Amino acid sequence: MSQQWVYLSRNGKEAYAQVYGHEPSLNDMKVLFGGKGAGLVDMTAAGAPVPPSATITTAACVEYMNTGKFPEGLWEQVLDAVKDIEAQTGKQFGGTTNPLLVSVRSGARVSMPGMMDTVLNLGLNDETRAALAKLTGNEWFSYDAYRRFITMFSDIVMGYSRDHYEHKLEELKKKEGVEADPEVSLEGMKWLVDEYKKMYQEHFGEEFPTDPYKQLEAAIIAVFKSWNGKRAVDYRLHEGIPHDWGTAVNICTMVFGNMGDDSGTGVAFTRDPATGEKVFYGDYLLNAQGEDVVAGIRNTKPVSRMGEDMPDMYQQLVEITQKLERHYRDMQDTEFTIERGKLWMLQTRNGKRTSRAAIKIAVDMANEGLISREEAVMRVTPKEVDALLHPQFDEKAVQQAKDAGRVLSTIGVNASPGAAVGVLAFDADTAEAWKKAGKDVIMIRPETKPEDVHGMIASKGILTSRGGATAHAAVVARQFGIPAVVGARDLDIDVEAREVRVNGKVLKEGDWASLDGATANVFEGRIALTDPDFDKEVELRTLLEWADDIAARENVRQWPSDYKGFPTRGLQVWTNADYPKDARRARLYGAKGIGLCRTEHMFFEQERLPFVQQMILNADAAQALFDRQKRLQTILDTGKEEGANVSAERKAEVAVELEALNGEIAKSDAAKTYLAALAKLLPSQRSDFYGLFEAMDGYPVIIRLIDPPLHEFLPGHDELLARVTLMEAKGLTELPNDKEGEPPYQLDEQKTMLAAVQKMHEANPMMGLRGIRLGITYPDITKMQVRAIFEAACDAALKGIDVHPEIMIPLTGHVNELAVSQSELEAVAKQVMAEKNIQIDYKFGTMIEIPRAALTSSKIAEYAQFYSFGTNDLTQMTYGYSRDDAERRFLAKYVENGILPSNPFQELDRDGVGKLMRMCVRDGRETRPGMECGICGEHGGDPSSIEFCHLVGLNYVSCSPFRVPIARLAAAQAVVRHS
Ligand code: PEP
Ligand code: MG
C-alpha cells in the first residue's frame, strides 16, 4: 500500500494516530500538515465550524520537489478525499446542480504570510457557473467568481500576470463610469468573463481548462512549486527557515462571503496585534471575498462594528475565537466567512504581532493564568525587547512640525509602532538599493504585495494609501518590527510619476519624510528622534523582573563535584559604562554592577586632552630619570647591586650620584611637566569615579586601568607630517587651526609632536605597548589612576555610599606582569585608605584577553581576585583576525560563504574562544575557589553568547546600557532552557 499523503480535516488526528501509532501533538501535525492544515484539523476537533477539507502533506511536496512528479498513490488519495468532501457537503465537484468549489492553499510548517500561492473558486466552468447562479439566485456573483478564478488560475498556475486582467477590469469600470468592483453591471461582468477567456486562449494557444480535475491537478503542482518561488526562498533565507521542509496543500470547500448582504468575510484577532491590548480586533467587509480584505484593495470596517451589522454572527465569532485562544494558549489570527447567515472559520494561527504586543500579550496571559511566567519569558525574543528601546519622535519636534504645517497625513491606520525617518522610495527595488548605499528609506506604495517584501525589510518605515490593519503591508511590517502607516487615503501616490501629492504639496522620490507608526502621523522632512522611556514600559519591566527572578534562582546550574565554587544561580547582568549618566541609565534598565569602565575614554575630553598629551610627550624622559633614581635608591636601601654586596665606598659614590640626580630631576622640564600633568588629571579622574560609585551605590564597579596604545591620544602621523611640510614649504611659523576657536598651530610645537609620534611608532600597536605593559613601563600613570579610584571610593564611603571598587588590569599575558604591577598598585590603595582612615571592600583582578593568560589561568589566579573576559581582544588574538580590519576586509564574505557560521566578533566562537574560556574559568577556580568571573567584551550583550556564558559558569555578563534589558531576558532564557 502506498504511503498516506492526504488527510481529511474531519478525522485527521485519528488518521495520523493510525499511521504513526501515537496521538499527534500540534507540532507533529504542523510538521506533516503544515500550519494551516494542522489548524484545520485541530480547529475541527475543537468544535469550530470549519468547511470540510483535506490536506496533502509536506512529505508529498518534498517527494514532488525531488522527483518532479506526484508520488505514487497521491492522485488516487486526492480523488478519494474529494469524494469524502462531496459526501460531507452534499455538493459535487463539477456538478451541474449543486457544484462543489474548492480553494487550493499553500501552508508550510511555520507561517510564511503571502509568500506562497493560493487558488480560489476552483471547479468553475460554464456549467458550474450557471448552476451556482441558479443556486444562489445571483448571476452577477457567479460571473464575478468566475472572472476571479480565471485571473488567479492564469496568474498563479500558469504564470500569466493578473495585471493584464486587472487592466481589463479597470477599462470596464471607466467605460461604465463606476469606481468600485461591485458596481460593475451584470452585462459588464459577462463581457469580462468572455474577454478573459479570449485573453487566455490568445496567450496560451488553448482554451481555458474546463475539467475541474485538470484544474485541481495543475493547482496542486503550482502550490508545490511556489515553495521554491523567489519570494518564498528570500523569506526563508531572511528568517532562517530550512529549504527542505516543503509546503502542504489544503483543498478546502469554498464558502462565499459575497452572496449578498447576509454574507461577509473578515480577519479577526483575539487581541490587538499592534498594541497587545485585549480587544477584539480585525477588519471585515460585507458582501465580499477574503482576498478583498487581505489585499487591502477595498477599505474595510473594523470587526468590532460587525455587532451592528450582524449581531448573532458577531456573538458567535467572539465566542469561537476566544475558545480557540484558550485552546492554543496564544493570541489567534483567524479568517472567517459568513455565507448567507452561516459562520465558517477558515483558518486560525498564532497571530503575528509587534514587539510591543508580544511583550504585553505574554505578560497579560501569564497574569490571566493562561501560561506560566517561564513561558511568558520564553515567548518574547531579545529582538522584541530591543525594539521597545528604539527611538521615538521628540514631542517638541513633532509640535514644531505641526505648527510649521509639515503634517502630510493623520488618517491612516497605525499599523506598526515606532518612529521612522527616511527618504521616500516608490518601489521595493529602489528601497533595497538605497539601503545598500547606506540611506535610510521609507518605502511608499499604494499597497504592498508579497513581491515587495525585500524592499520592506530594507526600509526604516512603510507607508501606503490603501488597506486596513490586516493588509499585507501591516502584517509584514509588524512581523519585522518596522514602523508602518497604512491606508493613508489622503495620499495620492503616483508610482509612475515617482511622486506623492497631498493637500497641494508634492513630494518627490528621494525627499525626506517621517512617520510614526503608533499615531499614524506622517510628516514632510525629518523629525528629531528621542530615546525611549523605559519607565513607561510597564509590561516590559514586569517581564524583566520575572526574568531576574528566574535567573536569581539557586540550583539552576549544576556542576560536577570537583568544580570549586561555581555559581549555581543564573547569570547577573552588569553594564559597560564610562560615565555616571550611562551608569544611571543602565541601572534603570536593571544592571547590577559595572563590569567595565574604560578610563581612557575620559582622557579624550577636550579640557583634559592637552594634559594627557603633555603626560605622553614627557613620559619617556621623565621615566628614564625615575628609573635611575629607583635603581640608586634600591642600592642604598638593600646594600646590594646586581645581587652582590656593595662596599662602603661604592655606597658613598651612589649617594653622591643620587643627590646629583635628585637635583637634576628637580630641574628637569620633562619630569616636572610629566608630574604636573598627572597631578592635573588626578582630580578629574577622581570626580569621574566618584560619580560612578554614587550611581552604582551598593553594586560592584569594575574600573579598568589605561589600556590603548598611547599614540591614540596624539594627532595622526600623516596629518602632522602634512602640516609641518606645508608650513616649512611656505615658510610659516603659524597656521590657522582646523578646529574653530582653537589657537593656531605653531611650527615648533608641531615638529615636537611629529618627532614624538614618529618615535612612538609601532608596526602593530594593538600587540605593542598597551594594557598592563604600559602600566609597567610608566607606573606613575596607573598609580595616579588607582589613587583617584581609592580617593573617590573612600570619599564616597565616608558619605555613606556603599562602594565596591574592583581594579581591573588589562591585557595580562604572563603571571609575572601581575606579580610586579598588582603589588605596587595595591600599595597605593592601602596608602590612600590609611590617609582617609577608612577600609573599603575592594578587589584587584585582570582581564582575560590573551590566549596565554587563559592557558595559564591556574597561575594567574594566584594574584588576580577576579577575571573578566575581554572577548573582543580574545577573539582577535585567538583567531589572529585584526578586529579593526577583518570585518571590513573578509569577514562578511567568510560568513556569506559559510566558512564561518557567524561573525565571531558578534557571536562568541564557542569551539575556539569558548574552549579557552571554559578552561580558564575551571583552572582559575581550582586555584581560587569561587573566583568571580564575568565577560565585558561585546559578546556580553549577544543572546547566544550569553547562553554560552551561562553554560561555562560565569557569574555575570556586562554589556552596554541599551543591551542590558536584552541580556536580562537572555540570562533567564538560558536558565529555562538548561535547567
Ligand atoms: C575586550 O577586549 O573585549 C574589551 C572589553 O576591551 P576593549 O574592547 O576596550 O579592548
Ligand atoms: Mg580589550
pLDDT in tens, 399-449: 999 999 999 999 888 888 789 999 999 999 999 999 999 999 999 999 888
Residue nearest atom 8 in ligand 1 by C-alpha distance: 872
* Nearest listed ligand to the Cα of residue 957: 1
Active site residue 472: yes
Question: With a 6 A CB cut-off, is 872 part of the ligand 1 pocket?
Answer: yes
Pocket perturbation via mutation, ligand 1, pick of 812, 872, 938 by most ligand atoms within 8 A of CB: 872
Q: Is the pLDDT of residue 686 over 80?
A: yes
Least confident of 756-760, 821-825, 850-854: 756-760
Instruction: Tell me what pLDDT residue 962 has.
Output: 83
Q: Is the pLDDT of residue 344 over 90?
A: yes
At CA 813, angle to CA 809 and CA 817, rounded to 5?
60
> How many angstroms separate the alpha carbon of residue 810 from the centre of ligand 2?
7
Instruction: For residue range 373-409, list pLDDT tens digits in order.
Output: 999 999 999 988 988 887 788 888 999 999 999 999 9
Q: Is the pLDDT of residue 606 over 80?
A: no
- Three-class SS state of 282: strand
Q: Which residue has the cell 595580562?
A: 812
Query: Please, what is the average pLDDT of the chain?
Result: 92
Q: Is the pLDDT of residue 518 over 70?
A: yes
- CA torsion sign, 847 to 851 to 856 to 858? positive
Q: Which residue has the cell 584587584?
A: 844
Instruction: For residue range 861-870, list pLDDT tens digits in order.
Output: 999 999 999 9
Amino acid at the residue 107: G
Instruction: Tell me what pLDDT residue 803 has.
Output: 98
Instruction: Tell me what pLDDT residue 437 has.
Output: 92
Instruction: Tell me what pLDDT residue 161 has.
Output: 87
Instruction: For residue range 713-756, list pLDDT tens digits in order.
Output: 888 899 999 999 999 999 999 999 887 778 899 999 999 999 98
At CA 613, angle to CA 610 and CA 616, rounded to 5?
155
At CA 323, angle to CA 319 and CA 416, rounded to 5?
85
Of residues 604 and 326, more confidently modeled: 326
Question: With a 6 A CB cut-off, is 882 part of the ligand 1 pocket?
Answer: no
Instruction: Tell me what pLDDT residue 261 has.
Output: 83
Q: What is the mean pLDDT of residues 669-674?
A: 96
Q: Is the pLDDT of residue 884 over 90?
A: no
Instruction: For residue range 527-548, list pLDDT tens digits in order.
Output: 998 778 888 899 999 999 999 9
Residue nearest atom 10 in ligand 1 by C-alpha distance: 873
- CA torsion sign, 522 to 528 to 532 to 536? negative
Q: Is the pLDDT of residue 860 over 70?
A: yes
**Cell numbers at 742, concatenated:** 582653537
Instruction: Tell me what pLDDT residue 192 has.
Output: 96
Residue nearest atom 9 in ligand 1 by C-alpha distance: 598
Q: Is the pLDDT of residue 367 over 80?
A: yes
Quote the CA–CA distance of 691 and 793 in Å, as a whole number.
10
> How many angstroms separate the alpha carbon of residue 620 from the centre of ligand 1?
26
**To which H or E segment does residue 687 belong?**
helix 669-695
Q: Is the pLDDT of residue 32 over 90?
A: yes
Q: Which residues pair with 959 in a beta bridge?
A: 575
> How many angstroms separate the alpha carbon of residue 807 from the centre of ligand 1?
15
**Cell numbers at 500, concatenated:** 506623492
Instruction: Tell me what pLDDT residue 479 has.
Output: 64
Of the residues 61, 252, 454, 472, which is catalytic? 472
Question: With a 6 A CB cut-off, is 461 part of the ligand 1 pocket?
Answer: no
> How many angstroms separate the alpha carbon of residue 576 from the centre of ligand 1?
10
Q: Is the pLDDT of residue 615 over 70?
A: yes
Under the banding of pLDDT at 50, 70 and 90, the label for residue 9 is: very high
Of residues 578 and 475, more confidently modeled: 578
> How many angstroms separate the alpha carbon of residue 48 from the centre of ligand 1?
58
Highest mean pLDDT among 163-177, 386-400, 448-462, 831-845: 831-845
Q: Is the pLDDT of residue 298 over 70?
A: no
Give the closest residue to 240 by CA, choosing from 912, 950, 975, 902: 902
Under the banding of pLDDT at 50, 70 and 90, the label for residue 832 is: very high
| Helix ranges restricted to H, 837-963 | 851-855, 857-860, 871-879, 886, 892-896, 913-927, 943-952
Active site residue 936: yes
Instruction: For residue range 567-590, list pLDDT tens digits in order.
Output: 999 999 999 999 899 899 999 999
**Cell numbers at 797, concatenated:** 564611603
Instruction: Tell me what pLDDT residue 256 has.
Output: 86
Pairing of strands 419-425, 441-445: parallel
Of the residues 936, 939, 950, 959, which is catalytic? 936
Of residues 796 and 36, more confidently modeled: 796
Q: Which residues contact 460 (CB under 8 A, 6 or more apart)?
A: 420, 421, 422, 440, 441, 442, 482, 483
Instruction: Tell me what pLDDT residue 896 has.
Output: 81
Give the closest residue to 542 by CA, choosing from 977, 960, 972, 945: 972
Q: Please report, for residues 249, 311, 812, 848, the alpha-carbon distance to residue 874 in angstroms, rounded to integers and kept in the order given.
A: 50, 66, 11, 7
Amino acid at the residue 795: D
Question: With a 6 A CB cut-off, is 936 part of the ligand 1 pocket?
Answer: yes
Under the banding of pLDDT at 50, 70 and 90, the label for residue 297 is: low
Question: With a 6 A CB cut-off, is 595 part of the ligand 1 pocket?
Answer: no
Of residues 773 and 765, more confidently modeled: 773
Under the banding of pLDDT at 50, 70 and 90, the label for residue 351 is: very high
Q: Is the pLDDT of residue 559 over 80?
A: yes
Under the banding of pLDDT at 50, 70 and 90, the label for residue 664 is: very high
> How many angstroms separate the alpha carbon of residue 871 from the centre of ligand 1?
7
Percentage of the residues of the chain whose pLDDT score is greater than 70: 98
Question: With a 6 A CB cut-off, is 808 part of the ligand 1 pocket?
Answer: no
Q: What is the mean pLDDT of residues 622-634?
A: 95
Q: Which residues pair with 643 in a beta bridge?
A: none
Least confident of 8-22, 267-281, 605-619, 682-696: 605-619
Residue 951's Cβ-count burial label (10 Å; 0-12, 13-18, 19+) is middle
Q: Are 868 and 932 in contact (CB under 8 A)?
A: no
